[in-house]
């Protein structure tokens, strides 16, 4: 090979390696962002008033989130009620586990059957949304997510169980 072909090959291989590293970095940042908030809930009741009891975990080591509102849907596009008062501005500090938040009883949810039909949407002030479906009073709700998100959460849970930190 001539001198200039070697220079061109070295330059192209360096550019390819740098591009690959940037793509891996972007993919890792996306992965950490997608899996940094974990929400589950169970329906609780006090007399005839039903309300969700959330367990919200911020697994980020550096990012603080603020909760915007909770919306309750009953199979339609329009919500049956939007709760802007309960959690508006509630701060999710990095590495925190939040439970026993003061949440208003859900309007138009008056029975156990209603709890099973209602989908809960928790929205952060950044616009990120979490869709949750409940199982009933005292049972954990399921997070509605895509296959890619489910696989990302599975990978993150695997690494956390093995005590390998992904955040720096």
Pairing of strands 91-92, 97-99: unpaired
Q: What is the model's pLDDT at position 65?
A: 93
Q: What is the model's pLDDT at position 139?
A: 52
Helix then strand count (H, E) for the chain reads 3, 9
| Mean per-residue pLDDT, 2-15 | 93
| Mean per-residue pLDDT, 43-47 | 86
69/1 Cα distance (integer angstroms): 65
Chain Cα centroid distance, residue 83: 19
137/50 Cα distance (integer angstroms): 8
Chain Cα centroid distance, residue 54: 13
64/96 Cα distance (integer angstroms): 10
pLDDT in tens, 129-151: 888 876 655 555 556 667 777 78
Q: What is the model's pLDDT at position 14?
A: 96
pLDDT in tens, 46-96: 888 888 888 899 988 888 999 999 999 887 778 888 988 888 999 999 989
Q: Percent of the chain, pLDDT > 90?
A: 29
Q: What is the model's pLDDT at position 144?
A: 60
DSSP string, 82-131: EE-SSSTT-EE-TT-EEE----PPPTT--SHHHHHH-EEEEEETTS-EEE
Closest CA to 119 of 135, 104, 105, 103: 135
| pTM of the shown model | 0.72
Q: What is the model's pLDDT at position 69?
A: 92
* End-to-end CA, the chain: 43
| CB-side neighbour CA atoms (13 Å) of 160 | 13
Q: Check pLDDT > 60 for residue 109.
A: yes
DSSP state of 5: H
Q: Check pLDDT > 90 for residue 8.
A: yes
């Amino acid at each position: 090979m001539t001198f200039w072909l070697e220079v061109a090959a070295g330059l192209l291989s360096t550019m390819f390696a740098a591009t690959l590293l940037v793509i891996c970095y972007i993919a890792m940042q996306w992965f950490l962002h997608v899996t940094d908030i974990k929400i589950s809930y169970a329906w609780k009741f006090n007399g005839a008033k039903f309300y969700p009891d959330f367990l919200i975990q911020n697994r980020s080591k550096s990012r603080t989130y603020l909760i915007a509102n909770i919306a309750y849907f009953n199979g339609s596009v329009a919500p049956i009620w939007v709760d802007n008062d309960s959690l508006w501005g509630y701060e999710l500090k990095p590495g925190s586990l939040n439970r026993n938040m003061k949440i208003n009883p859900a309007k138009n949810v008056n029975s156990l059957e209603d709890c099973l039909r209602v989908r809960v949407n928790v929205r952060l002030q950044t616009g990120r949304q979490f869709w949750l479906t409940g199982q009933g009073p005292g049972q954990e709700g399921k997070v509605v997510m895509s296959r890619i998100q489910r696989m990302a959460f599975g990978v993150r849970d695997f690494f956390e169980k093995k005590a390998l930190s992904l955040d720096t």
